[in-house]
Amino acid sequence: MAYLGLARKWRPQTFDDLVGQSHIARTISNAIKTGRVSQGYLFTGTRGIGKTSAARIFAKAIRCQQTQEPGVPCNKCNDCTEISEGRSTDVLEIDGASNNGVDAVREIRENAKYLPSSGKHKIYIIDEVHMLTTAAFNALLKTLEEPPAHVVFVFATTDPQKIPATVLSRCQRFDFKRVSQKDLSGRLKHICEAEKVSINPDALAILAREAEGSMRDAVSLLDQILSVGGTKITLETVTEALGLVDKKTILDCVTGIIRRRPLDAVDAVGRVYLHGFDLKQFGREILRYIRQIMVARLLEENAGGTPVNLSAYMEMSDVDLDDMKELLHERSLDDLDMLFRMLNHGLEDVARSTIPKMVMDVLVMKMASTEEMIALSDLSGPDDLGGVGASGTGGGARAPGSGPQKKSAHSDQAPPLKAAAQPQQATPAAPVAPTRSRAAELIAAIEAPQPAPQAPASALSARAATNAPAPSITINAPKELHDASSWIKIVTAIKDQKPMVGSILEHLSFEGLVENGPLLVLTLGFVKDHSFYRDQLQSHAYTELLVQLLKNHLGRAVRLDYKEVLSSRSIEEVERQRRKQVDDQRRASVLESEAVKAAQQLLGARLERLDIQENA
């Protein structure tokens, strides 16, 4: 006997088998029990959710001659068997796409006049009825409105908007909904148990998710997986067979984006591309993950401090929920919304581009480099909106450090606060000269437990602060590298020569330098989340290049060692903390301003967003 696919083998045979459509099953069953069978029904909904199956069950229920309960077919009598096998002469299934003309409708009208060969009803099931032409619909109207007593029409469609209102008004309409992932998982689990197949719960959840609410798609995907994994289905089997990206890669990319680590995000994209996965599908997985984080944040905020059981709202394993909770408070809801929109629009460019890998790389780098957004409703700072005073007029000079300043090409300035809307044009004030260079600030921050707030810097370079060319660095004694300033100078000099190597070093911390015979052993520290940077430096090309650069600066051969540390004191981390503290102080000054309040009162407006960005 030829193999029968699972979608056909497990097609619903009774109303109880219709998963996720209990509202429709109950209504039609009650209509049959009470003898209120209409002359026309319209079943609408997306693909694979049981429209045609429900029509067959309905036909069996009103024609079954051995039913023990009205509305429940026995599935054993001759009528039920013929309808289930699609060979009944009194239940005609017609494809509306290929029989869409007036001639086909005319044939239906002529045949409808004749009594059924057995039973009381003749049923016409027209699938994809929206494909009928306007003339065909018009030809059907009279028969549909006043059919012979033994005729019942059942229409099924995925696009009810294309059906004329004159037809809709002559039918009882039932809207089939998508099947929930919980119901899909339950049905798939039942099928696997009946087929004696062992399936991992995570694999079951992925199948239900990929089906997108379609029961037929879910069972077809299961049939496909069984061809690969046999009687034992694991998560790896499903991801490999469906061409899906593993959850760790998705988590790595999302973590890199949310924690502002562009290299981590790009590395995840590279792994996806290397394995030949669809980058647009990968992007959709990231969108789904960001959406889950937003939903979890909203649930927590609405709970008002009460612990929320996220597993009751999200179909995720406990391990996945724990991973997501670590990212839950890294970004605000406004930031997450911005990231979602950026990726959603950017994926269109990825799909159209002839170089999708490059477009995706730039997209995730841009997302991982976004600054924190602040709601305008939280602002009340004075002169950061363009020097508008309490009277609503521009003018007076800003106090040093109180407002946005134009950044000189050779000085370290605080990045300006840019409001979404300004009531009047600001009068720019004279730039405020920086009091400390960024290198000096970083040295102080590394050596002190609590960094003192200073004006933000524009680049990691002592040369930028002094507007002088980078000096040639020569360190003759290893002990000099125990000084934080010497480490920063070396990293700065390396970055001037090899920007990529210098950028990686900024994410690693200096942990020590010891002599080992003729060699100097330099130990660099990394936190667990930054192991990517260690892996980069441990590659053959990077190791040779870095050892040569360090030898040029230290005058002796160097060997590199790495160790994992609990907390990062890298240049990049210290700078990020310092920049955040400076931004918090500047936002606080905005919140205390009367200028915003005066502008809001004058314009009758409300501040919605405040961006922090650096001018070129």
| CATH code of domain 181-242 | 1.10.8.60
Q: Note the pLDDT of residue 374.
A: 65
pLDDT digit string, tens, across residues 235-285 = 888 888 887 888 889 999 999 999 999 999 999 999 999 888 889 989 999
Residue 243 — φ and ψ, nearest 5°?
A: 70, 35
Contact 63/91 with Cβ under 8 angstroms?
A: yes
* Residue 266: partners with Cβ closer than 8 Å, 6 or more residues away: 256, 361, 364, 365
Class (C level, CATH) for 6-175: alpha beta
What tokens does 173 get? Answer: 């309409």
Supply the pLDDT for residue 177: 92
Could you tell me the CATH superfamily of domain 371-395+474-616? DnaA, N-terminal domain (3.30.300.180)
Confidence of residue 347 (pLDDT cuts 50, 70, 90): very high
Q: Tens digit of pLDDT for each residue in 505-542?
A: 877 777 777 777 778 888 888 777 767 777 777 776 67
Query: Average pLDDT of 34-43?
Result: 92
558 DSSP β-pair partners = 520
Q: What is the pLDDT of residue 359?
A: 94
Is residue 474's pLDDT more than 90? no
> Given this model, what pLDDT does residue 312 score?
72
The answer to whether residues 501 and 477 touch, using CB atoms and an 8 Å cutoff, is: no
Q: Where are the domains of the chain?
A: 6-175, 181-242, 247-370, 371-395+474-616
The CATH fold of domain 247-370: Zinc Finger, Delta Prime; domain 3 (1.20.272)
Contact (Cβ atoms closer than 8 angstroms) between residue 430 and residue 414: no
**Mind giving me the DSSP string for 14-61?**
SGGG-TT-HHHHHHHHHHHHTT---SEEEEE-STTSSHHHHHHHHHHH
pTM for the predicted model, two decimal places:
0.55
* pLDDT tens digits, one per residue of 412-433: 433 443 444 444 444 444 443 4
Q: What is the pLDDT of residue 611?
A: 63
pLDDT band at 484 (very low <50, low <70, confident <90, very high): low
* 73, two tokens: 């077919």
What's the pLDDT score for residue 382? Answer: 43
In 3D space, the residue among 549, 109, 607, 46 whose CA is nearest the CA of residue 380 turns out to be 607
pLDDT in tens, 54-91: 999 999 999 998 888 888 899 889 989 999 988 899 99
Mean residue pLDDT of the chain comes to 78
| Range of lowest pLDDT (49-53, 483-487, 555-559, 589-593) | 483-487
pLDDT the model gives residue 390: 39
